[in-house]
Structure 1
Amino acid sequence: MLSGVLFDLDGTLLDTAEDFVHIIQAMLQEHGRPPAAAELIRAQVSDGSIGMLSTAFELSPEAAAFAALREDFLSRYEQGLAVHTRPFPGISELLDWLDAEQLPWGVVTNKLSRFSIPLLEQTGLASRCASLVCPDQVARGKPDPESALKACSEMQIDPAGCIFVGDHLRDIQAGRAAGMATIAALYGYLPADEDHLAWQATHSVQHASELLPWLQQRHQPETSHV
């Protein structure tokens, strides 16, 4: 039976892309550059500020100007990290069900604590989240299983009964390496050419609203045949 759920943060639990798009478009305008396609930025969210900025500005991370550009981006994001961010449709209902069933849920992210903690606070999820594990809290981030196992330890659950939900290959790899069932969140920030079948997730969903019925079925006790 289901004992708990772990979520990736950006692109799985929360739709954070719109805040990134607004910041990058403003920066492009200030640098005299044309706007970038929103979907182009969205597809790079899982690769963090480096992926988004290098794509939008067509600039290598090794370029001399990149470090200052990234610091400007991070400063702007820290000041307005939940302006447009919302849970994906269907996530609020899922979290309500998990809380009602007294099933703990947590977040395992590659987003630093300096952003993740206030983001959960500003979206009203911090007090409900049983564990938040960020890369600066572990020796090895995803795809290593360390962060997923740390979250299960904090939630006091067996990893074998936990489900890891994520929109990136490293989420599925971390969950599998930790001995968990996994769900590929295909509604997240995947590049158009991504082959999610190669991830070998236990299950996949096209919309966040599909998570609840699947998890409810998973939570049903096995039928006795005696």
Structure 2
Amino acid sequence: MTTIAWAHPPEAVLFDLDGTLADTAGDLGGALNHLRLQRCLPALPLDVLRPHASAGARGLLAAGLDIHPGHPEYEELRQAFLSAYEHCLADTTELFAGMAEVLSALEARGLDWGVVTNKPHRFTLPVMRGLGLEARAGVIISGDSTAHAKPHPLPLLTACERLGVSPQRTLYVGDDLRDIQAAQAAEMPSAAAAWGYLGTAEDVGRWGADVICAHPQDLLALL
């Protein structure tokens, strides 16, 4: 891990949700396996599905059922997946190890923090509520909160506007290439969360993040 040369002291940290702030793969994978069982297919182990969790319904339907956008059954199965997920949003979801301490440290330092995710709002809030973080987060931006989702910069810029902070003095942390692309488009420093899902066969070093962090607590050294 390298460091970030802040021109001015940082004011805030924004986190992606799935695979960065929280380990949601168990519940997302459970929803996918529900669809497989309906098709008389055996459940897949979580370690097979985990790398695809950050891509949501699209990634999990591809990994678990080989169904992709454009397939005649895709939209029906996407809706079925979302319906199944809605019933298990916080069954196994939990913060990644060390993340609770990071959030407490940010608050102790007087730094704002929030969440910017592509997850739909109707799922984001129950997950944040289940984690006990809804009231603590300074801002929560979901995939349908703005006109564009990541990798467009608008969700990050909207979060900064609501917090009253500068993008150049805000760190965005994510475990997907789209997260880093969004941060770059917003001219915001970025950290790749190497503890996250990361997709498959990804070379995180090629994403262009300012830093790559192996553990959530590495973030504190950047601030």
TM-score, L = length of structure 1: 0.90
1:6 aligned counterpart, secondary structure: strand
Aligned 1:84-123 pairs, distance under 5 A: 84-123=92-131
> Does the aligned pair in 1 maintain the 2:29–2:60 contact within 8 Å?
no
- Which structure: larger Rg? 1
CA deviation map 1:163-197 (0-9, x unaligned): 00000111111112212211000111113410111
What residue is the counterpart of 1:70 in the other structure?
78
Query: Shift of the alpha carbon at 1:39?
Result: 2.4
Aligned 1:43-54 pairs, distance under 5 A: 43-54=51-62
Count of residues in correspondence between the two structures: 215
Counterpart of 1:179 (choices 180, 187, 193) is: 187
Q: Which whole-Å CA distance do the structure 2 matches of 1:200 and 1:53 have between them?
A: 28
Aligned 1:113-192 pairs, distance under 5 A: 113-192=121-200
Give 5+ residue unaligned stretches, structure 1. 219-226
Q: Which whole-Å CA distance do the structure 1 matches of 2:31 and 2:150 have between them?
A: 26
What residue is the counterpart of 1:221 in the other structure?
none
Q: Which whole-Å CA distance do the structure 1 matches of 2:106 and 2:172 have between them?
A: 14
54-63 or 86-95, which moves further after superposition?
A: 54-63
TM-score, L = length of structure 2: 0.91
Counterpart of 2:10 (choices 2, 5, 22) is: 2
Q: Which whole-Å CA distance do the structure 1 matches of 2:200 and 2:151 have between them?
A: 21
Q: Indicate whether 1:194 and 2:206 are aligned.
A: no
Q: Which whole-Å CA distance do the structure 1 matches of 2:52 and 2:97 have between them?
A: 21
